[in-house]
A and B are shown apart, each in its own frame.
Chain A
Amino acid sequence: MVELFKSMPFSAKFGVIGCGIFLFCAVFAGLIAPYGEREIVGDVWEPASGAFWLGTDNLGRDMLSRLIYGAQTTIAVALAASILSFSIGMLLSFTAAVVGGWTDQVLSRVNDMLLAIPTLIFALVVLAALPQNIFILIGVMAIIDQTRVYRLGRAVAVDVVVQDFVEAARLRGEGWGWIIFKEILPNVLTPLIAEFGLRFAFAVLFLSTLSFLGLGIQPPAADWGGMVKDNKDGIIFLVPAALYPGAAIAILAVCVNMVVDWMLNRTSSLKGGRG
């Protein structure tokens, strides 16, 4: 592990450290946060001080503590949604590419229909209609996101399906499972990993957007998008509170992509990453 880390280029190291800090905050939020998530500890929009390192928010809660708790919610929800959307999208797209024919047509056209609906409006309507809970939120984000994964997954898988080695596997009598997971998946991982980094960053942004609009994480739970919303009015009075969660979103997105970039370099090598 240590050697692996040493062999990384600077950008990847930076990304790993950044992601590590965010993850640490997310996992151990209850231990490291100086105050409680919902605890009102001071005045509204107090400036940064020894007691409140990043000041307080619009209700007088400690900004740093909320940022740390926000990492927990935001990362967990975005990660869960990304993983779910990738699982669904990849499974459906590979099935479409390998089986072909009617299966492909039906899956692809349904996917096109979903794509035709603007994501935000779709999410707003569905989330407004369904009960507010975190699992439904994750599910809706995943369903919307998997349409993008499906398009990419099908495009790259179709390229691989026509290769001779897939034909050789078919001639051997292999089942769909083997062809999808052993022949195709390893060969399309590269673009999909790149996409995962991007999609995760988008999921963070999308969640933040939903929270900003009041349909994501419900107050008083902390999440970065909601925190921007709560504190946006402060900007008029030169209170920087809204900028911290905004910066956190940006830094997380950058760090994730730096790590993904490095992983891409490794996985795109056809020599098993030895090169």
Chain B
Amino acid sequence: MSDTLLDVRGLKIGATIFPPGEDPKDIEIVKGVSFTLEKGKVLGLIGESGAGKSTIGLASLAYGRGQVRITGGEVFLGGEDILKYRPSGIRSLRGRRVTYVAQSAAAAFNPAHKLGEQVIEATLRHGIMPRSQAMERAKHLFKILGLPNPETFGDRFPHQVSGGQLQRAMTAMALCPQPDLIVFDEPTTALDVTTQIDVLAAIKRAIEETGVAAIYITHDLAVVAQISDDIMVLRHGNTIEYGDVKQMIEAPREQYTKELLSIRSDIKPEAEDQSGALLRLNRIDAAYGAGLQVLFDVTMHLPKGQTLAVVGESGSGKSTTARVITGLLPPSKGEVLFKGEPLPPALKGRSKEQLRQIQMIYQMADTAMNPRQTVAEIIGRPLSFYFGMGGSEKAKRVSELLDQIEMGTGFADRYPAELSGGQKQRVCIARSLAAKPELILCDEPTSALDPLVAEGILKLLMDLQRETNVSYLFITHDIATVREISDSIAVMYKGRVVRFGPKSKVLAPPFDDYTDLLLKSVPEMELGWLERALASRKMEAAGN
């Protein structure tokens, strides 16, 4: 087995946590995980948040984040146990033999230095090659990674390039010192699907050309299926299943893997009558300040009790559309009709009753709730504000709402910090339900959640729609979600609606160019999808 690069045996990682009202206690984050990685191969680590994926990835750099300690096991890199290294040994390991690509490239680059300097910094520090040579290598890597103008790309500052380019620049930084192993920590999670496919392809090509081994961490099984040779599924720090990518995708053995694979299989049938309109946007233009126009002639409508999905990548104007509907950003042209009547354009002009009928659910449930209020206070406020409820009547309604979101009265006295991500989003849903709204604007409510948790939230939303006949305007960039929950779809691109209509029509050919690109960029859970998608794109480009 001379080809074995990384050999992890019985890795155990622990941390000390400080639970509320109790003494600090030690917990195990990773409970004895073993795997091997050969040279030039890619291992995909997959699992939900808290599964220990990133922690394992960082342990390959002999690093524990924050309060985290490596408590047991061995990590052999090229035959040596790196956990036994002294600080000087670890220093010569990190950034030289093992490098790291973080999830948020925007946060990982120093905004005050040029990209090129940052890309070659570790290489120079370790004295691997002289400056001129490192520069040449960086340019070569920029080229492999498909970055524009590889000769001058390094002269730019981080804010001058896009998110996808920054992520590729970070990959170049990791590749530059000619490492044996790269740890990719969710490198494409924060990107749009249309960008993700480019970055994925670039990373894959770079790995193939340089022959480096990689650990690829993600929560998206479809992504990992495109890039890795082996997959390890983790849950609560345990290995659920570990094997060859083909076997994992085509014949998973464990129930949990099957659940991950079968997510989003039940699709809501589309409503037949889509003629009425609870909400209608009529030729809306909107701008931030004087110069920056973001919405151009946006027209769409949403019938009562149905779901309209607004799809598009970041910057397409999805969230701005929601801001116009809420009145936070009055449109510069056009009008918003609610139940056939025009809504006052600005928030200030709207009555309490109008405000009550339109509620909002945010992407980040963390910041959408006041951290200093308990769940009961958060849910109770709309009750007392809109309906003047108080005392036992309010408490009763709060517990009804908590039952409705499948959480129960036990959570009433908790603070948001004491809830999990999915629970937080449920409380936000309960808060908007408390107002008995006609319309709920959902701004990417599931995109910050793990797939199985997100699935639960979507199911809850659909159940609530059946019970209360509430309408949703659902903003998302995830086509799979759209397929599952929507009745009608509006595809947005650069502030315009490029396609609008019932789900069955929008998702059926013939497509316009952008919708086609969007649909083709969504990773599918099958081997070789990436190559096929890229090939079909190239053919189209050649045909044009």
Contacts and interface: CB of A to CB of B under 8 A. Distances in A.
Q: Is the interface of A mostly helix, strand, loop or mixed?
A: helix
A183 B350 CA distance: 22
A274 interface: yes
Interface in A157-193: 163-165, 167-168, 170-174, 182-183, 186-187
B52 to A, nearest CB: 24
A109 interface: no
B20 interface: yes
Nearest to B416: A270
B161 to A, nearest CB: 26
Interface string B82-109: 0000000000000000000000000000
B367 A274 contact: no
A168 B360 contact: yes
B307 to A, nearest CB: 20
A171 B431 CA distance: 12
A274 B20 contact: yes
B381 interface: yes
A168 B362 contact: yes
A189 B381 CA distance: 21
B367 A164 contact: yes
Contacts of B417: 270-271
B415 A270 contact: yes
A186 B385 contact: no
Contact of B370 (A170, A186, A271, A272): A186
6 contacts: A168-B362, A170-B328, A171-B326, A173-B385, A186-B372, A270-B372
A30 to B, nearest CB: 42
Contact of B368 (A164, A270, A272, A275): A164
Given A171-B326, A172-B385, A275-B21, 10 more contacts: A164-B364, A164-B368, A165-B369, A167-B328, A168-B362, A171-B328, A171-B355, A172-B355, A271-B417, A275-B19
A171 B367 CA distance: 15
Interface of A: 163-165, 167-168, 170-174, 182-183, 186-187, 270-272, 274-275
B347 A171 contact: yes
Contacts of A173: 350, 352, 355-356, 385
Contacts of B416: 270
Contacts of B358: 171
Interface in B330-372: 347, 350, 352, 355-356, 358-360, 362, 364, 367-372
Interface in B356-400: 356, 358-360, 362, 364, 367-374, 381-382, 385-386
Nearest to B21: A274
Nearest to A184: B370
A186 B415 CA distance: 13
Interface in B452-494: none
Contacts of B81: none
Contacts of B362: 164, 168
B450 interface: no
Q: Which of A163, A170, A171, A274: most chain B Cβ within 10 A?
A: A171
A256 B412 CA distance: 36
Nearest to B360: A171
Contacts of B359: 171
B381 A271 contact: no
A182 B418 CA distance: 20
A172 B381 CA distance: 10
A126 to B, nearest CB: 38
A173 B328 CA distance: 12
A165 B367 contact: yes
A271 B372 CA distance: 8
Interface in B192-248: none
Interface in B18-62: 18-21
Nearest to B366: A164
A265 to B, nearest CB: 12
B381 to A, nearest CB: 7
A10 to B, nearest CB: 19
A167 B369 CA distance: 10
Nearest to B350: A173
Contacts of A272: 372, 374, 415
